[in-house]
Amino acid sequence: MRKLFSFFLLIWAGTTFAQDTSFVKSAYGGSSLTVPEGVSWKIEKAYINGGDGYNILVSNSNFKPIYGPGEKLQTPYYMAEMELLDKKDGVFYILYIRQHNNK
Amino acid sequence: MKYLLTPLFLIIFVGFFLAQGNLQFNQAKIISNTDPPQTVPAGKVWKIESVFTAGDQDVYGVQTSGTTLSLFPACGVPSFYYLYSGRYLAINNIPISFGIHNAGEQMTNLPIWVPAGSNICTCTNSGLCARGYSVIEFNIIP
């Protein structure tokens, strides 16, 4: 019982005090992602993939440094790094995002 | 428990070794057929985008007569009878033609991905060898 209590205490502490989380999202070029309220996003790194077996790292300068709450993150329809892909249509982005809790 | 952990371990193990690397553009290179043999550096991969023709000829027929030739002595490629003419490179000691056969078929389709440690050798025979080639070099990143 004590172990179970400790386990839930650990989860509660983690969710209450943790400020930053990291996750990966994918989106097609030209689409957008909306930052939820109460958090901000920073793109840590981004890759593009044209459906082949490899991802190309793209420059972070293609994105804003910080996306605020409710802001739309627009993935560019075209960028210079797409020239490195064999197929340029249906390119999708793999975004490594650090989310900061603003509360 | 054993039956649960074994597949889990296998998935992680296989996933780790089959995971594809991500690539970062490093540089574009043009290599002439008078340059020395090139070795793809460790941690890089080369994408051969284009192979240059030896002259104004781009379509090649089948040679009906001739002798074996040693086009790539610097790379130790053995003497070889080149049945199809045109735009040869040797990759890892394998002579590969990038010409267009007179039946209309491209002998080898581009691009070609060349892994680290591979050796690319050029030759200078005007009728058989590529004039050079262009590559994009990528860094392999985790």
pLDDT digits (tens, 9 = 90+) for A47-83: 999 998 899 999 999 999 999 999 999 999 999 999 9
B100 shares contact with chain A (CB less than 8 Å): no
The C-alpha atoms of residue B133 and residue B73 are separated, in whole angstroms, by 19
- pLDDT grade for B42, boundaries at 50, 70 and 90: very high
Residue B1 confidence (pLDDT) above 90 = no
Q: How far apart are CA A24 and CA A77, in angstroms?
A: 19
To the nearest 5 percent, what fractions of chain B are helix, strand and coil?
15, 40, 45
What ipTM goes with this model? 0.73
Are B31 and B135 in contact by the 8 Å Cβ rule? The answer is yes
Residues of A in contact with B25 (CB under 8 A): 56-57, 81, 84
Residue B20 has pLDDT above 60, yes or no: no
Q: State mean pLDDT over A82-102.
A: 92
pLDDT range class, residue B57, cuts 50, 70, 90 = low
B76 in A contact zone (CB under 8 Å): no
Answer yes or no: is pLDDT of A91 > 60: yes
Helices (H), B65-123: none
* pLDDT above 50: residue B8: no
Q: Is the pLDDT of residue B43 over 50?
A: yes
- Three-state DSSP at B74 gives helix
Q: Do B21 and A54 touch (CB under 8 A)?
A: yes
Q: Measure the CA dihedral A50/A55/A57/A58, to 10°.
A: 10
Q: Dig out the tokens for B53 from the structure.
A: 């023709």
Burial classification of residue A31, based on how many CB atoms lie within 10 Å of its CB (0-12 exposed, 13-18 middle, 19 or more buried): middle
Asked if A55 is an interface residue toward chain B (Cβ–Cβ < 8 A), one would say yes
User: What is the rounded CA–CA span in Å between residue A76 and residue B5?
Assistant: 43
Measure in Å the smallest separation between the Cα of A102 and chain B Cα atoms: 30
- Whether B58 has a pLDDT exceeding 80, the answer reads no
CB proximity under 8 Å: B 4-43 to A: 20-25
Binary contact (A54, B25; C-beta < 8 A): no
Are the beta carbons of B24 and A84 separated by less than 8 Å? no
What tokens does A62 get?
Answer: 């293609």
Set of chain B residues whose Cβ sits within 8 Å of the Cβ of A93: none
Residue A45: strand, helix, or coil:
strand
* Cβ contact B134:B50 at 8 Å: yes
- Please name the helix (run of DSSP H) or strand (run of DSSP E) that holds residue A57, with its range, or none: strand A55-58
Lowest-pLDDT choice from A22-26, B53-57, B97-101, B134-138: B53-57
The answer to whether A30 touches A75, Cβ cutoff 8 Å, is: yes
User: Binning pLDDT at 50, 70 and 90, where does residue B11 land?
Assistant: very low
Strands B22-32, A55-58: pairing kind: parallel
